[in-house]
Amino acid sequence: MDCLSAVILDMDGTILDTTVELCSAVASAANRMVPSLALQHFQVLSDYPDLYGGPLEEFHDTIVLPHKPGLTKDEEKDSTAKFIKFFLEEVKNSCPSPCFDDVLSALEELKAKYPSLLFAVATTKPTKTAESDLTSSAVPNALRPLLSHVQGTDAGIAPKPAPDVLLRCASVIGVDIKKTIYVGDTSRDSGAGRAAGCMMTVTVQRDADKLGNKLGADAVISDFKGIESAVERWRTEA
């Protein structure tokens, strides 16, 4: 892995098991906007699978906006802002999302074997929210110090699959994006990695039934322990 400078990681669904938190907050926010929806958290993933991992604006436009016909552009903007406000209120009041069991030990092993290798996070959430999530009581204290930088999709940064958040992250930690891999769990993640010019994109699918679907990535793994072997296998085949 001598040509690899950094492993950049998605956060929600990759490092943190946020499925319940995300879907519950989206459903609650949508129901506050349109009470007649009566949307259940499990329906968010089953009925809108393509939205998972995307920006909140898309959740609003797909779930809420059809129930608010005739809005002006300014009213749509206000509606989106209210939805995001409700979502963040729900997240703030929810239990912290736990870290997947394999993450810390896998990163510690990689760091011990490759001391110069950097780890960083590039996520759809705003940086401030991401930092809070990664330092919550549900996440091991040893994880955040392993991460050289946490880059969120803040104002002025286009959401994935645009490459902006990855390029910003690589710039901050001072590495060539072409010498990084991006590890995520959605097609938006692999799309962002390709658009940024990452050396390789990896999809984590902890559900073994999904391992045949790379979601557009160069490789698919079942847990973080597979990062090193995926990179080595990709280099051999390239």
Output the pLDDT for position 79: 97
Q: Over the stretch 225-235, which tens digit does the pLDDT of each residue have?
A: 999 998 888 77
Q: What is the CA radius of gyration of the chain?
A: 18
Residue 24 corresponds to which tokens in the numbers above? 């519950």
Q: Kindly state the percentage of the chain with pLDDT values over 70.
A: 97
pLDDT in the model for residue 36: 95
**What mean pLDDT do residues 204-233 have?**
86
pTM for the model stands at 0.85
The whole-number pLDDT of residue 237 equals: 67
Segment 104-108 mean pLDDT: 97
Listed by start position, the domains of the chain span 6-18+98-237, 19-92
β-pairing, 118-122 vs 200-204, is unpaired
Q: What is the pLDDT of residues 167-181, one digit of tens each?
A: 999 999 999 999 999
- Lowest-pLDDT choice from 7-11, 210-214, 222-226: 210-214
Which fold is adopted by the domain 6-18+98-237? Rossmann fold (3.40.50)
Is the dihedral angle over the CA atoms 29, 35, 40, 45 positive or is it negative?
Answer: negative
Residue 94: both structure tokens together: 């929810």
CA distance 217 to 237: 15
Query: Is residue 209 over pLDDT 80?
Result: no
Give the mean model confidence (pLDDT) for residues 79-84. 96
- What's residue 144's pLDDT? 98
